[in-house]
Structure 1
């Protein structure tokens, strides 16, 4: 490492846009943890945290069958997120 090089964590904390991105990534991961805690355990490995923005949160799913089951569970997911104090505007499902 060169003498003037910054560690990635330090660089991210010094830059407002990067700090915001890091915050959004942590929020998205927190939402994923809540969702995994309320869905059947067989579905958990097929989920990934996606982007979080002003319009909502995207949950990435492995296939259409997982997406279909999550659509059925959507009220439960939204309720669990609200119970943990996480704002829910919308949850978008995207097959990856």
Structure 2
């Protein structure tokens, strides 16, 4: 069975795929706001009802993202994304 068909037939997997697409879409909105070297160290994380998580490669990247957070959240709102918290987490190796 092709993976697309399996995803379509399973409600939990379809929901997971939808959340993954949403996370990637949000990231594509904010990525241009990040300096290239910083953007290389950031990954989109999970979307939940209460917010969205950005995964930082290390603590220094997380600190810089926290400084940029108001701008990132404002841009997401301007692009029509619902007001949800954006969380920053350091991605463990």
Q: 1:18-46 CA distances to partner (integer Å, 9 max, x unpaired)?
A: 11110000000111111211111221110
Bigger-Rg structure (1/2):
1
Matches of 2:78 and 2:24, distance apart in 1: 16
Q: 1:62-93 CA distances to partner (integer Å, 9 max, x unpaired)?
A: 01111111111111100111111112310111
The answer to whether 1:72 aligns with 2:67 is yes
Offset, 1:15? 1.3
TM-score, scaled to structure 2: 0.91
- In structure 1, stretches of 5+ residues that fail to align are 1-5
RMSD: 1.0
Aligned pair partner of 2:25 in 30, 43, 49: 30
TM-score, scaled to structure 1: 0.89
1:50 is matched with 45
Count of aligned positions:
91
2:5 is matched with 10
Matches of 1:11 and 1:86, distance apart in 2: 29
Over 4 Å off, 4+ runs: none
